[in-house]
A and B are shown apart, each in its own frame.
Chain A
Amino acid sequence: MTEISMTPDTSPAASPDSATDALGQSARKSIPVSIRLAIGWVALMVLTALLANLLRPYSITALDLSARLQPPVGFGGSWAHVLGTDELGRDVLSRLLVSIRVSLSLAFAATLLGVLLGAALGLMAAHFRGLVEQVVLVLIDVQAALPFIILALSVMAFIGNSQVLLVGLLALYGWERHARVVRGLALSANTQGFMLAVRQLGASPGRQYLRHLLPNISATLIVITTLAFPEIILAESGLSFLGLGVQPPMTSLGNMVGYGRAYLSNAPWIPLFPSAVIVLTTLAISTLGDWLRDKLDPTVR
């Protein structure tokens, strides 16, 4: 909450804002340049995701066999395919736009689900204590013992492959950390005056937690959601890269990099554009998350 937390050490990626430091206290209250850039990029990505189907010049499956492996504009390509084409003559720009939509919406849904799951289990553990708490703690241990990628590989390949399952699995990524954090917060809040007072007044558990606890821990929830989002984008693109996430003919960022790597030497634009989008997006959201953490809740590390 304080301006002290805005000293350079706590915003690691804030190198461009050194100029604003010299301007003194009033300028420091404004948002650093790196954060503005990050917000700008995220906004661009969200708009792209929303409007992908209007913006894309071609269908993602439209083949143009006479224009296969065409380089992007500026590298010998034409304006007909701004970012070039792939081995089947499909337009890379169109596929990129739709991939952004698919990857971001999958990751967004999974992040929300994961935080909800973690928060719900953490609250249950803190409310019921006893056996329920022990069960939740064992579940946390089990999840911590199964690295996500190994769990996902085993489940996806044997159960089959659908987008619903993919979102469900991605939601399992990191829920155990959210559950730990929320349980800790709820346990400490339960010993504080306001929660005791609400309970004494006879509020139902739903009212206690939703109306009184939630507003008090919402800053932390926002921070863990923001920090989990890029990790889930990376998890989804990793799975799709291995060919186990989003399946063709649908496309996602990791999927494009995955099949594009076969053309790395003769058509590097196929994997490089989606790679750049993944990197910039996760970088922007992580930077935003770090900044929000320092602003809202310096206790989460």
Chain B
Amino acid sequence: MLMFVLQRLARAVLTILIVVTFAFVTLRLTSDPTLVVLGPDAPPESIAAFRLRWGLDKPIWQQFFYYVAGLMRGDFGRSMLNGADVLPMVVARILVTLKIMLPALAIGVGVGVSAGVFAALKRGTLADRMIMFLAVVGFTVPGFVLGLVLVLVFAVSLGWLPSGGNDSWSSPILPVVTLGAYWSAVLARFTRSSMIEVLGQPYILTASAKGLLWQAVVTRHALPNAAIPVVTTVGLMVGGMLAGAVVTESVFSWPGLGQLLVTSVAARDVAIVQCILLLVATTMVLSNMAVDFLYGLLDPRLRSGLH
């Protein structure tokens, strides 16, 4: 078990290291922030001063060394546009993104899991087909289309809700519904197939045969087993949460992490982009790892395999 944990940790660290290197090398080699920040008409002496100030005159391996040394001290660099520390800027935006992400995740889990369980129990009925049709639709309608339709109906036609921004209590409603619908659809499909698989297992037959009420069979034997893959899927979703909002935030002009990424990319603010890439990759790696461990904890059958 210890061996497994150590191996998994080593792989996680290696992955993050590669992402850091990749991000640094591609971003530094492919664009010269000097010209973008100062403009093409900047005088040569201010270009030289800018390069000196940001260390861009040094060879790239040296710049990389300074960057990694800075990361070790918790220094993620400074924005080239306004010189501010990058990390507080990014963290502030993450909090804004979580404001729509967490309620959306709650809706996704609540609606998706219950719809999936219901559909599996009513398998083959009209209700099941309706739920699954909705799930496929929710899965294939892109966020920007659903978002635009919601804006058209609730903001433009009815005028009930704001079409974008983050300046009233009702602003998060439409983005939350857009994201929640997608996650509900994904989880409903997943929960249903997991539940159907479990309901076909011999231990369900045994539980019914020994005279348990069907309700007890479902709640005590089927649900806990069906929950295992669902929990891991939710874990992976949490990892991708910060990234999932880029398009939705753009539709609703929600000033979160996705918007920061889009504007920093447009402004060629390398430090911010690097910081976002690093934080998102770290969250993904950590949640993937947590899911691996969780799997072992939740499913005793897998635990023996981990030794």
Which A residues form the contact surface with B (CB < 8 A)?
Answer: 7-9, 12-15, 18, 138, 141-142, 144-147, 149-150, 153-155, 157-160, 230, 234, 237-238, 241-242, 254, 257-258, 261, 264-265, 268, 271-272, 275, 278-279, 282-283, 286-287, 290, 301
Residues of chain A lying within 8 A (CB to CB) of residue B189: 12
Asked whether A157 lies within 8 Å of B277 as measured between CB atoms, the reply is: no
Asked whether B31 lies within 8 Å of A145 as measured between CB atoms, the reply is: no
Asked whether A268 lies within 8 Å of B277 as measured between CB atoms, the reply is: no
Asked whether B19 lies within 8 Å of A278 as measured between CB atoms, the reply is: no
Would you give 23 A-B contacts (Cβ < 8 Å), ordered by A?
A8-B128, A12-B129, A14-B129, A15-B126, A15-B130, A15-B133, A138-B18, A146-B281, A149-B243, A150-B280, A154-B273, A157-B265, A241-B247, A242-B246, A242-B250, A257-B144, A264-B151, A265-B152, A271-B148, A282-B142, A283-B137, A286-B136, A301-B193
Closest to A281 in B: B140
Asked whether A286 lies within 8 Å of B140 as measured between CB atoms, the reply is: yes
Asked whether B268 lies within 8 Å of A150 as measured between CB atoms, the reply is: no
Given A8-B129, A13-B132, do A146 and B140 touch, yes or no (CB 8 Å)?
no
A201 to chain B, nearest CB (A): 35
Residues of chain B lying within 8 A (CB to CB) of residue A153: 246, 261-262, 265
Asked whether B145 lies within 8 Å of A279 as measured between CB atoms, the reply is: yes
Residues of chain B lying within 8 A (CB to CB) of residue A301: 193
- A-B pairs with lowest CB-CB distance, top 3: A147-B243, A12-B132, A157-B265
Closest to A149 in B: B246
CA distance A155 to B141 in the complex (A): 26
CA distance A241 to B277 in the complex (A): 21
B198 within 8 A of A: no
A42 to chain B, nearest CB (A): 13
Asked whether B27 lies within 8 Å of A158 as measured between CB atoms, the reply is: yes
Residues of chain A lying within 8 A (CB to CB) of residue B243: 147, 149-150
Q: At the interface, is chain B mostly helix, strand, loop or mixed?
A: helix
Residues of chain B lying within 8 A (CB to CB) of residue A158: 26-27, 30-31, 265, 268, 270, 273
CA distance A141 to B288 in the complex (A): 9
CA distance A158 to B271 in the complex (A): 13
Asked whether A237 lies within 8 Å of B132 as measured between CB atoms, the reply is: no
Asked whether B27 lies within 8 Å of A154 as measured between CB atoms, the reply is: yes
Partner of A159, one of B11, B30, B281: B30
Asked whether B26 lies within 8 Å of A155 as measured between CB atoms, the reply is: yes
Given A138-B11, A145-B15, A158-B30, do A238 and B152 touch, yes or no (CB 8 Å)?
no
Asked whether B139 lies within 8 Å of A146 as measured between CB atoms, the reply is: no
Asked whether B14 lies within 8 Å of A279 as measured between CB atoms, the reply is: no
Asked whether A242 lies within 8 Å of B247 as measured between CB atoms, the reply is: yes
CA distance A278 to B126 in the complex (A): 27
A113 to chain B, nearest CB (A): 20
Closest to B139 in A: A286
Closest to B22 in A: A142
Partner of A261, one of B196, B244, B251: B251
CA distance A160 to B265 in the complex (A): 11
Asked whether B144 lies within 8 Å of A241 as measured between CB atoms, the reply is: yes
A194 to chain B, nearest CB (A): 28
B101 within 8 A of A: no
B234 within 8 A of A: no
Cβ < 8 Å to A, chain B residues 43-58 = none
Closest to A139 in B: B18
Asked whether B281 lies within 8 Å of A279 as measured between CB atoms, the reply is: no
CA distance A268 to B151 in the complex (A): 11
Cβ < 8 Å to A, chain B residues 151-175 = 151-152, 156
CA distance A8 to B119 in the complex (A): 12
